[in-house]
Amino acid sequence: MQLAKELLQRNGELCELCNNHAACTSYPVIAGNEDAANCVALCAECEQKIMQEEKGEYWRCLEGSIWSPQAAVQALSYRLLFLCKEQDWANETLNSVELNERVVQIALSIFEQAEVHKDAFGNALSNGDTVVLTQALNVKGTSFSAAKGVVVKKIRLVPGNTDQIEGKINEQTIVILTKYVKKN
């Protein structure tokens, strides 16, 4: 991505990570947001090391860049140090800096995986889907069992627990484990 003039001037036309080579590319810290405040000016070598997911001594330069006044540079530095945290120098650097909580959240957001509820066969489930029970279930707290093959319409996903959904059986809302259902 071409460097914006503002981004290029921010660090005197040098890479904002290694501070050794001329910056030649703009790297967005949050994918899809190419605003200068969200980007870091990188040299070709730093960009290549990021793409190769380098975790070695090369990143010792981050011991300096983590202190940048730019939130995007702090976030990218933190992210790369986090990848190297098994090495003492990287772990010490991470422990020595106190960044804004939002910067840390942005840095670590790349490692988060979206919450996905899946049925017994690995199919993604969504709110409102219809599922079929793959085995008979004893429904706790009630006087009935749900037979294998029962259709449960308009399910709701349980937030924060990808192993559970909610659905109505015999006009009663119950929690069902996703490993016992098949998307219809």
CATH of the domain at 156: 2.30.30
**Residues 23 and 107 grouped into a single domain:** yes
Contact 29, 75 (CB under 8 A): yes
Which of 82, 111, 140 finishes a domain? 111
Number of domains in the chain: 2
Instruction: Answer yes or no: are the C-beta atoms of 74 and 99 closer than 8 Å.
Output: yes
Same domain, 19 and 104: yes
For the segment 139-176, what is each residue's pLDDT rounded down to a tens digit? Answer: 887 778 899 999 999 999 988 899 999 999 988 889 99
* Residue after which a domain boundary falls, among 111, 142, 173: 111
The H or E element that residue 110 is part of is none
The answer, as to whether pTM is greater than 0.85, is no
Greatest Cα-to-Cα distance within the chain, rounded to the nearest angstrom: 74
- Shared domain check, 176 and 148: yes
Residue 126 lies in a domain: no
* Residue 123 lies inside a defined structural domain of this protein: no
Mean pLDDT of 112-132: 90
* Predicted confidence (pLDDT) at residue 129 exceeds the cutoff of 60: yes
CA pair distance 123, 162, nearest whole angstrom: 12
- Pairwise CA distance, residues 35 & 72, whole Å: 10
Instruction: Tell whether 165 is covered by a domain.
Output: yes
Predicted local confidence at residue 113, as pLDDT: 67
Answer for the pair 166, 155: CB distance below 8 angstroms, yes or no: yes
**pLDDT for 97 beyond 90:** yes
Please tell me the distance from the alpha carbon of residue 128 to that of residue 156, in angstroms, as a whole number. Answer: 6
pLDDT at residue 1 greater than cutoff 60: no
Q: Which residue range forms the structural domain that includes residue 160?
A: 131-183
